[in-house]
Amino acid sequence: MRIGVYGGTFNPIHRGHLTAVRAAADALGLEKVLLIPDNLPPHKALPAGSATGEDRLEMCRLTAGEVPGMEVLDLELRRSGPSYTSDTLAELHAQYPDDELWLLVGSDMFLSLQEWHEPERILSLAGIAAFHRTRGDETERFAQQKAYLEQIYGARVALLENPDVVEISSTELRAQLAQGRGRSFLTEAVYGYVLRRGLYGTHADLKHLTPEELRPIALSFLKPKRMPHVLGTEHEAAVLARRYGADVTSARIAALLHDCLEDTDASFDEITRLFGRTVAELVEGVTKLTRVQYSTMEEQQMENLRKMFMAMSKDIRVILIKIADRLHNTRTMQFQSPEKQISKSRETMDIYAPLAHRLGMQKIKWELEDTSLKYLDPEGYNEIMRYLNAHQAEADAFMKAIQSKITTRLSAVGIHGSIYGRIKHVYSIYRKMKAQNKTIDELYDMYAFRVIVDSIPDCYNVLGHIHDLFNLVPGRFKDYISTPKPNMYQSLHTTVIGQ
C-alpha cells in the first residue's frame, strides 16, 4: 500500500492543503494519506496568536471527510520537543513495515531538504513527493534538487503539479480572518471552529446568528460523517416547522445543534453560553429523547413510552426536530448496516410513526411506516410494490372516475368541497393483508378519498350523498366529529363499494 505523509503546522489547515493532498493521491495512487500537525516546528517558531496544538489537531480532524482515505494523527503533538520528520517517519515505518511511505512537501521545504534534521534517515524511510511551481526558474531548480537528492542520498523523488493550487499562505489567511475575511479558503466546519473558539483575532456574537451563519459553527462540533445527517435534519425540521406553525428559525438552529450534547463533548452550559438558553433547552430536549433506551415491548409499554415522550417535551419543536432527525435517518437507511436497518426500523415503527400520527403528521407517518417495512419485511414490501406498479394505470383510471362522480354530485347540490384520492400506503395494505389473512388482490379496501368541506353540517350532507352514490359496507362507519380522536382529529369515516 502506498501511504502519503503530510506534516505541517496547519495553522489553520485550509483548502490549499487539501488540494495538495488530492493532487498527490491522484498522481501517486495513494490509498491512504496521514495528516500530522506538528508540536514544535523545528525550522521556525509558531507566530504569536497561533492556535494551540489541540485546536490545530481538531481543525485537521474536521477536514478528514474531505479527501477519501485521509486520516489525522496526533503522534507529533504527543511527543515533547521539536517535531522532527525523521522521528515521525521512523515511527510510521515501524507501524507500516511492508508499505511504501511518501512524504509530501511544498516548494520551499523541498529545496532545503538536505538542511533538515537527519536527511539521510528521512530519505531512507520515505520517497519525496514535492509540489513545484512552474513559473520563473522554479522548474530548473527543482530538476537540479531532484538530481542532487537522487545522486547523493539515493532518494526516490516525484515532482508533482497541483492543477487546483490555492495561492494563499497560512500567514496571509490568518491576517484575513482577523479582518473578517478569508472564509472561502476554509472548509465550513473549520471556519465554524475558528469562530467558535475565537481563533486568529475573530469575534462572533453566536447568540444572534441566522441559521445560515450558524451552520458552519454547528458543523464544527461534529465528526465529518455526521455532518450530512445534521444538514438533512435541518432541512426536514424547517419543512415540518413551516407545516405545523412552529418558529422556523429556532427549529433550524436547534436541528443544526441537535447532535451536540449527544455525540460531542459539548455541555449544556457551553451551549447555553454560546447560543442562549432557549436553543440549549431545545437541544437538551432532543438529547433526552435520544437517550431513551429501546427494546422489544408490549403495546401498553410502548404507549407509556409515547406518553413519556410528550411529557418530556416542554416545547413541541423538540418533537418536530426529533421526528425530522428520524425522517432523515429513514431516507438514508441504505447506508446503514443490516443490523442497524432492522433495529432502527423497528424503533421507527414502534415510536416515531405513532408519534407522527398523534401529532396529525399523516404523510410523515406513512413514509416512516413504509420505509421501515422495507427493511423489516422486504419480501412483503416488494410483493405489494410489484402489485401496485403493475396496476398503476388501472388504479389511476378508477380513482379518476370515482372522484369525477363525487365532484359532479356535490356540484349539483351546491356543496363546495375539495376532493383528494389516493391508493392506501404500503404498510396500511400490508397490515390489512395480515389482519384479514388475504392476498393483496383479495382486498377491497385499497383506495381512500378525502372530501374537505366548509362546515360540520356539510360533512354529514356529503356522507349522505356518498352513501347514495355507492353501496355502504355495514359496520364500517365511524363518527370522529361527535367523538374526536385524542389529538382532536375530527372527521367522518365510511367504507363503500365503488362502481
CA torsion 172-177-182-185 (nearest 10°) is: 70
Say if residue 456's pLDDT is above 60.
yes
- pLDDT greater at residue 222 or residue 91: 91
pLDDT the model gives residue 443: 85
* Separation CA 242–CA 72 (nearest Å): 40
Candidates 175, 200, 214, 219; CA nearest to 63 is 219
**Which band of pLDDT confidence, cut at 50, 70 and 90, is reported for residue 54?**
very high
Least confident of 148-157, 272-281, 293-302, 451-460: 293-302
Please provide the DSSP assignment of 4-38 as one string.
EEEEE--TT--HHHHHHHHHHHHHHT-SEEEEEE-
Query: Angle 288-292-294 (CA atoms, 0-180°, nearest 5)?
Result: 160
Given a cut of 70, is residue 296 above it in pLDDT?
A: no
**What is the band of 253 on the pLDDT scale with cuts at 50, 70, 90?**
confident
Mean pLDDT of 201-211: 86
| Interval 352-380: pLDDT, tens | 898 888 778 889 999 999 999 999 999 99
pLDDT, the chain, mean: 88
What pLDDT band is residue 145 in, cutting at 50, 70 and 90?
very high
pLDDT of residue 298: 54
Beta bridge partners of 71: 34
Residue 263 pLDDT class (50, 70, 90 cuts): low
**Is residue 211 within 8 Å of 235, Cβ to Cβ?**
no
User: Which residue in the list 263, 315, 377, 458 is annotated as catalytic?
Assistant: 263
The residue-averaged pLDDT of 108-122 equals 93
Respond yes or no: is residue 263 known to be catalytic. Answer: yes
Q: Which of the residue ranges 109-123, 281-295, 303-317 would you say has the lowest mean pLDDT?
A: 303-317
C-alpha cell at 424: 392506501
Set 71, 262, 315, 479: catalytic member: 262
In the predicted model, is pLDDT for residue 301 greater than 70? no
Strand runs (DSSP E) across 311-362, as ranges?
none
pLDDT digits (tens, 9 = 90+) for 57-85: 999 999 988 889 999 999 999 998 889 99
- Which of 97-106, 129-138, 221-230 has maximum average pLDDT? 97-106
Q: Report the pLDDT value the prediction gives residue 306, as an integer from 0 to 100.
A: 61
* pLDDT mean over 88-97: 95
Q: Highest-confidence range of 95-104, 211-220, 312-321, 466-475, by mean pLDDT?
A: 95-104
Instruction: Return the pLDDT at 295.
Output: 53
Catalytic, 262? Answer: yes
- The larger pLDDT score, comparing residue 241 to residue 25, is at 25
134-159: b or e for each residue (b if 16 or more CB lie within 10 Å)?
eeeeeeeebeebbeebeeebebbbeb
Question: What is the band of 137 on the pLDDT scale with cuts at 50, 70, 90?
Answer: low
Calculate mean pLDDT across residues 394-416.
93
CA angle 73, 77, 80 (to 5 degrees): 140
Q: Give the pLDDT mean for 22-35.
A: 95
pLDDT at 419: 93
